[in-house]
Amino acid sequence: MTMPADLAVLAVVVVRDGQLPLGADETVTEAGGAALVVGSGTRAAAGELDSGRRVWLLERSSVAPGALAAALAPVLSGVGMVLLPASPDGRDLAPRLAVTMGRALLAGAVRCTPHEVELTRLDDRLALRVAVDGPAVVTLRPGRPGRAGPAGRTEVTELPAAGPGTPAAGRGTEWDAENVEVLQPEPSTVDLAEARRIVGGGAGLVPAGTDGEAVMRLLADVAGALGASAGATRVVTDAGWMGYDRQIGTTGVAVSPELYVAFGISGAAQHVGGLGEPAHVVSVNTDPSCPMTLMADLGIVADAPAVLAVLADRLGVTGAAADQPEEASHAG
């Protein structure tokens, strides 16, 4: 059993209990709509793929990466470029698959074609374009906007169950990973691209003469109490009040959370351009006509520092920045 020989690029998406990993649709889009969905609950997961046009299903109860790589290697032997989302399972499987198939591994791509892959390094400060002149395994970072998926009806094919697979030659079963428990990531440390809830802060959250770092620490504590991650605008990160890994925008991290709460963010194009399509947006700003409030499901026209202080008090969060002067603030 092998994939069709006409596939130059194929996305491999590992699923658990029918749940697609973050970045699955982007990866399938980059592969031109061709995808192999493998794991448990593959049919349900394939039904959630908006970009899939030619989809193959391979049901497996276990997705232990070593055995899975051994099982997939003969199936994928005719595919030139194997593309995986850089999800936890994708990052586990990709290097093992590359070793098993004797291929180059290009990790952390933001764009790819059958002949070229663009990688970023040094916290996105360096972009590398790597020519691809042979079979390769590539991981695609989530949260990167791609071209629109091809239109048309999805063709779904179920593949016969593969054997359990044996880890690469010379490796014992101890080489494989054993799943003990799947834990949800901590909101305070999770990559923003993977965050489902984000509380963002802009310059409008920091009145003149206020300690910006203290304000952003309070914002992060409030976000944690809400089970959310903290983010910021470029003005905030350039001022050194929050790290660049927390910057949302076209020059920062591209996100697409279920909930985005914006404190003192006016909604500059560079920031909004990295927001993707949040399911729900709440804006706290004194300007009812600013772009962020206009795009919000709920617009709270009020002083952002004062609202944050009240929310911190209600949540039992304490900090030096909890007592803010009540100044009108709307820049972001």
Output the CA–CA distances (angstroms, integers) from residue 188 to 99, 117, 120, 212, in the order listed.
34, 31, 24, 18
CATH 3.40.50.1220 location in the chain: 192-315
Structure tokens at 6: 């006409």
Query: What pLDDT was estimated at residue 126?
Result: 82
Write down the CATH number for the domain with range 192-315.
Answer: 3.40.50.1220
Mean pLDDT of the region 206-214? 94
Closest to 252 (Cα-Cα) out of 186, 217, 295, 200: 200
Assign domain 9-175 one CATH number from 3.40.50.620, 3.20.20.70, 3.40.190.10, 3.40.50.150. Answer: 3.40.50.620
Q: How many CB atoms lie within 10 A of CB 17?
A: 10
Q: Select the highest-mean-pLDDT range: 34-43, 134-143, 166-175.
A: 34-43
CATH 3.40.50.620 location in the chain: 9-175
State which amino acid sits at residue 300.
I
Q: In what side-by-side order are the strands of the sheet with 116-121?
A: 126-131, 116-121, 104-112, 136-140, 81-85, 9-15, 34-39, 54-59, 155-158
Q: Which residue has the tokens 């202080």?
A: 309
For 52-111, how does the pLDDT look when each residue is reduced to its tens digit (9 = 90+)? 999 999 999 989 999 999 999 999 999 999 999 999 899 999 999 999 999 999 999 988
For 254-273, how does the pLDDT look when each residue is reduced to its tens digit (9 = 90+)? 888 999 999 999 999 999 99
Q: How many residues does the chain have?
A: 332
